[in-house]
Every structure is written in C-alpha cells, then in structure tokens.
Amino acid sequence: MQNLLVGLIVLACTFYAVWALLPLSWRRSLAARLAMAPWPAPIKRRLEQAAQAGNACGCNGCDRGKAPDAKPIRFHPRRH
C-alpha cells in the first residue's frame, strides 16, 4: 500500500514538473485536448481556463496576471 501511495505521489510530481516546463502554446493545446474528456466539473473548468489564450505577451513569465510596471535598470560604474 505504501509503495502505491509513493508511486502516485511521484507520478503527480512528474506530471506537474512536465506541465510547468512545457512551452505555453503546448500547454494550451494539451489543455484543450484534455478538456474534451469527461472530467469532473472543477477539473474540466480548470483545463478550459488553461486552454484559453491569455492577454499577456505569450511568454511564460507573465501569463498569470497583469505584468508589473516597467522600471529602468541603472548600471553604476565600479568604484576602485
């Protein structure tokens, strides 16, 4: 029983890691395909939400919400 539980935890962690490392376009495509299957309502709603195109730039960094205001970067010369 313990081995089964550990195996399920490892499988879930592997799925999460692969999902997080996939490019955003692949995640959306995969979520759209998975949303067609007969899932319980909360899982189906989450998959449909992941399949929708975001209003961000398309990279993985800011696809979860509004991007922060841009701030300039200043480089200071080294002091000797």
- Say yes or no to pLDDT of 66 above 70: no
Average per-residue pLDDT for the chain: 85
Q: Give the model confidence (pLDDT) of 26-44 as tens digits.
A: 999 999 999 999 999 999 9
What are the extents of the domains in the chain?
A: 23-59
CA distance 53 to 26: 12
Question: How far, CA to CA in Å, does 35 sit from each of 4, 32, 45, 64, 77?
Answer: 27, 5, 8, 19, 54
